[in-house]
Amino acid sequence: MNAEFWLEKWARNEIGFHAQHPHKGLVEHFSTICAQPGGHVFVPLCGKTLDIQWLLNKGFRVTGVELSLLAVEQLFAELGVHPVISPVSAKVVMFEGGGLKVFVADIFSVSAAMLGSVDIVYDRAALVALPQDIRVRYAKHLMAITRCATQFLICVEYDQCRLSGPPFAVMAQDIADYYAPYYEITSIEREPVERGIKGREPGYEHIWLLCPLNDRAEK
């Protein structure tokens, strides 16, 4: 799986992964356990998720990163925002407007300097979108560019042998492997996925809160 896989999904409008409403876990838990309104939320691999509009409406500042230019154009159009578009580097273009910034780029091309200070990472669709061989690199990069900011992380759990991803199964042990040396990991909610993963495989959706163990500057 590579960048072309996701770009082709958007080009063909094969975006069944795009939910038609803000995530229930975000609505129920985010404001009570995470950064106060006005905080800076980073949304990796954001697509055109309606979660962004919810966060903006709650008073958060939001920065996303998304590989597909088409997805970003649709995101701003659906928000009714005419963005200012500017190059950041040879591999990164930034769309900005209405309290939202989105970098059109491979996430591995985004740096800490580009992001600035991040209060919390909202990872609903990034970790589960990546195969196992890329997830370790992603987790390390995410911690580096956000300086180990707190994470509100949503994963799915199921028997990966019975169904191919994405979304990929990310189990509790995986979370520990990637993040335990740097974060206190708390399970917030674990519920069965209604109608199953991809409508056929039983599984669970698991919401985690990751709080940094030490001062971020030491990471």
In this structure, which amino acid lies at residue 109? S
22 φ/ψ sector (left φ>0, alpha ψ -120 to 50, else beta): beta
Q: What pLDDT is stored for residue 8 in this prediction? A: 66
Q: What pLDDT is stored for residue 9 in this prediction? A: 60
55 φ/ψ sector (left φ>0, alpha ψ -120 to 50, else beta): alpha
Q: Name the CA dihedral angle for 88, 66, 54, 197, rounded to a multiple of 10 degrees.
A: -170
Q: What pLDDT is stored for residue 219 in this prediction? A: 42
- Residues placed in the known binding site: 10, 45, 66, 124
List the chain pLDDT tens, one digit each, 219 residues.
Answer: 466 665 566 456 554 444 568 999 999 999 878 767 789 999 999 999 999 999 999 999 999 999 999 999 999 999 999 999 999 999 999 999 999 999 999 999 999 999 999 999 999 989 999 999 899 999 999 999 999 999 999 999 999 999 887 899 999 999 999 999 999 999 999 999 988 888 889 999 999 999 999 754 444
Distances (CA, A) of 41 to 27, 35, 80, 119, 179: 15, 8, 20, 6, 19
Q: Name the CA dihedral angle for 183, 189, 191, 193, rounded to a multiple of 10 degrees.
A: -60
Per DSSP bridges, beta strands 92-97 and 204-212 are unpaired
- Residues placed in the known binding site for S-adenosyl-L-methionine: 10, 45, 66, 124
Domains and CATH numbers, the chain: 3-218 (3.40.50.150)
What is the reported pTM?
Answer: 0.90
**In angstroms, rounded to a whole number, what is the distance separating the alpha carbons of residues 54 and 26?**
9
The answer to whether the CB of 143 falls within 8 A of the CB of 128 is no
The answer to whether the CB of 52 falls within 8 A of the CB of 43 is yes
Q: Which token pair is 65? A: 């990163």
Q: Which token pair is 148? A: 């180990």
Q: What pLDDT is stored for residue 37 in this prediction? A: 76
